[in-house]
Amino acid sequence: MVSDPVVLGIETSCDETGVGIVKGTKLLANVVSSSMEQHVKFGGVIPEIATRAHLQAIQPTIKQALKDTNLELDDIDAIAVTAGPGLASALMVGVAAAKGLAIATQKPLYGINHLAAHVGVGVLNGEELPEKLGAVLVSGGHTEILKIKSLTNDISLLGATIDDAAGEAFDKVARSVGLNYPGGPAIDKYAKLGNPKAIRFPRGLTAGKDLERNRYNFSFSGLKTAVARWVEQRELDNEEIPIADVCASFQEAVADVISFKTILACKENGIENLLLGGGVAANSRVRILLQERCAENGITLRIPPFELCTDNGAMVAALGAQLAMTGAKPSSLDFGPDSSLPVTEIYVT
Residues that bind Zn ion (CB under 5 A): 139, 311
- Note the residue count of the chain: 349
Q: How far is the CB of 134 from ligand KG4 (least distance, A)?
A: 18
Residue from 94, 183, 194, 304 that binds ligand KG4 (CB under 6 A)? 183
Q: How far is the CB of 237 from ligand KG4 (least distance, A)?
A: 29
State residue 116 phi and psi, 5-degree precision: -65, -35
Complex with ligand KG4: residue 188 or 252, whichever CB lies closer: 188
Complex with ligand KG4: residue 62 or 281, whichever CB lies closer: 281
State the Cα–Cα distance between residues 86 and 108, nearest whole angstrom.
Answer: 23
Residues 9-68 that bind ligand KG4 (CB under 6 A): 14
Neighbours of 301 (CB within 10 A): 18
Q: Is residue 140 part of the contact set for ligand KG4 (CB under 6 A)?
A: yes
Q: Where are the beta strands (DSSP E) in the chain?
A: 6-11, 16-23, 26-34, 78-84, 109-113, 133-138, 143-150, 154-160, 273-277, 300-302, 347-348
Q: Is residue 185 part of the contact set for ligand KG4 (CB under 6 A)?
A: yes
Neighbours of 152 (CB within 10 A): 18
Complex with ligand KG4: residue 31 or 76, whichever CB lies closer: 31
Complex with ligand KG4: residue 77 or 188, whichever CB lies closer: 188
The type of residue at 42 is F
Instruction: Cite the DSSP H helix spans in 14-142.
Output: 36-39, 47-69, 88-105, 114-120
State the Cα–Cα distance between residues 236 and 233, nearest whole angstrom.
Answer: 5
Site map 227..266 versus ligand KG4, x via CB under 6 A: ----------------------------------------
Q: How far is the CB of 54 from ligand KG4 (least distance, A)?
A: 14
| Span interacting with ligand KG4, options 94-102, 125-133, 176-184, 333-341, rule CB under 6 A | 176-184
DSSP bridge pairs for 318: none
Residue from 144, 164, 252, 311 that binds ligand KG4 (CB under 6 A)? 311
Residues 101-120 that bind ligand KG4 (CB under 6 A): none
Q: Is residue 194 part of the contact set for ligand KG4 (CB under 6 A)?
A: no
The type of residue at 67 is K
Q: Is residue 279 part of the contact set for ligand KG4 (CB under 6 A)?
A: yes
State the Cα–Cα distance between residues 271 and 31, nearest whole angstrom.
Answer: 33
Torsion, Cα 215 231 281 145, to 10 degrees, reads: 10
| Span interacting with ligand KG4, options 24-32, 184-192, 210-218, 315-323, rule CB under 6 A | 184-192
Identify what 218 binds: ligand KG4, Zn ion, none; CB under 5 to 8 Å per kind: none
Residue from 11, 144, 188, 338 that binds ligand KG4 (CB under 6 A)? 188
In 3-state terms the chain splits into helix, strand, coil percentages (rounded to 5) of: 50, 20, 35
Site residues, ligand KG4 (CB under 6 A): 14, 139-141, 167, 170-171, 182-185, 188, 278-280, 282-283, 310-311
